[in-house]
Copies of this chain bind each other. A is one copy, B any other.
């Protein structure tokens, strides 16, 4: 199954003509999941090979405008490109994010008379008080939902922290389990861990032949993990005739943060194939970065190293860093220096480092069976 991630916006604070505001899409067969939706995300989508109408789930890491202001407009534009037959639009767009997101969407869509052609539901994560300094905490009054639901709004879940795992279970389906974890930032921020289920190993057809088994329903039962009893009375276990299972991929996408919070992040992200982490400013600006709730390449590298991630992708760069393609000799700041700083911190760890750029697509291949 194909899986890749496309960065739509890699700039922090605001969108600029050379770096969009935060947004990336994780694509698996047929499905697009959007992570954060800064202003201009819909225009970046139009510039990419992706189709907005394919977005079935949206994840908002935190409520800062540069991660959120594009969402009402994106939903409206998806709707404009939707088949007007209501029987064709029964699939609900699920939106996950911090408490307050439901109210935000209800007010912005409501006051602008935005009548969507598809249903949506907002599933809110309950932040804990230690996720931000006191001044970054919004009152319960402010974040409470009010008034009637938007005509297309379906009731969403309220997801509390699961104390035992220090994480939030967003959902599990046939292919994936998706959880969130807590981060520390100026306002409550979350990261997301998308874990693909392991793929069953291939059947060893030679062994099956030797056993006298022919392709048919018994193959299917073995593949599904069931034992099969032959006419001879011999019991064939799936492990006898199946290669080792192929581990599902794990993609971890961090929201803005100056650190993780609790045990959730590191335990969920252990062994991530791809770990996307912000690196707003270079190591030399560490104090400023932390002051603003952000990370440097060195800090991102420390997280990736603690998780034994395979690949660390840096993104969410201060707009002072131009994309490599626009870099000119003599420019004061150079985004490739951020990569160098992370690589230096990860020397010998085996963690690969990549820089996100607007419209860059990174494939996430399946690991070979061990």
Contacts of A111 in B (CB 8 A): 63, 100, 103-104, 138, 142-143
Residue on B with the closest CB to A64?
B112
Task: Flag the segment in A36-44, A158-166, A243-251 that touches B.
Answer: A36-44
Residue on B with the closest CB to A143?
B111
Report Cα–Cα, A104/B110, bound state, in Å: 10
Report Cα–Cα, A42/B14, bound state, in Å: 9
Contact B187 A65 (CB under 8 A): no
Contact B186 A14 (CB under 8 A): no
Which residues in window 145-165 of A have CB below 8 A to B?
A: 146-147
Contacts of A113 in B (CB 8 A): 63-64, 136, 138, 186-187
Contact B65 A72 (CB under 8 A): yes
Contact A43 B65 (CB under 8 A): no
- A76 interfacial contact with B, CB 8 Å: yes
- A46 interfacial contact with B, CB 8 Å: yes
Residue on B with the closest CB to A40?
B40
Contacts of A208 in B (CB 8 A): none
Q: A67: shortest Cβ distance to chain B, in Å?
A: 9
CB-CB under 8 A for A108 and B104, given A43-B40, A47-B17: yes
Among B47, B107, B114, point to the contact of A65 (Cβ < 8 A).
B114
Contact A14 B80 (CB under 8 A): yes
CB-CB under 8 A for A43 and B15, given A107-B107, A111-B143, A136-B113: yes
Count, chain A residues at interface, CB 8 A:
43
C-beta contact mask, A59-99 vs B, less than 8 Å → 1, else 0?
A: 00001111011101100110010000000000000000000
Q: A200: shortest Cβ distance to chain B, in Å?
A: 43
Contact B16 A43 (CB under 8 A): yes
Contact A147 B138 (CB under 8 A): no
Contact B43 A112 (CB under 8 A): no
C-beta contact mask, A17-51 vs B, less than 8 Å → 1, else 0?
A: 10001000000000000000001101100110000
Report Cα–Cα, A100/B108, bound state, in Å: 10
Given A65-B76, A104-B111, A110-B142, output 15 extra A-B contacts at Cβ < 8 Å: A14-B42, A14-B77, A14-B80, A15-B73, A39-B42, A39-B69, A39-B73, A65-B72, A65-B114, A66-B76, A69-B69, A100-B111, A110-B138, A111-B142, A142-B147
For this complex, 19 residue pairs linking A to B, each with C-beta atoms less than 8 Å apart, are: A14-B42, A14-B76, A14-B77, A14-B80, A15-B42, A16-B46, A39-B40, A39-B69, A39-B73, A63-B111, A66-B73, A66-B76, A68-B112, A69-B72, A69-B112, A100-B111, A111-B142, A113-B136, A146-B146
Q: What is A's interface to B at a CB cutoff of 8 Å?
A: 13-17, 21, 39-40, 42-43, 46-47, 63-66, 68-70, 72-73, 76-77, 80, 100, 103-104, 107-108, 110-114, 136, 138, 141-143, 146-147, 186-187
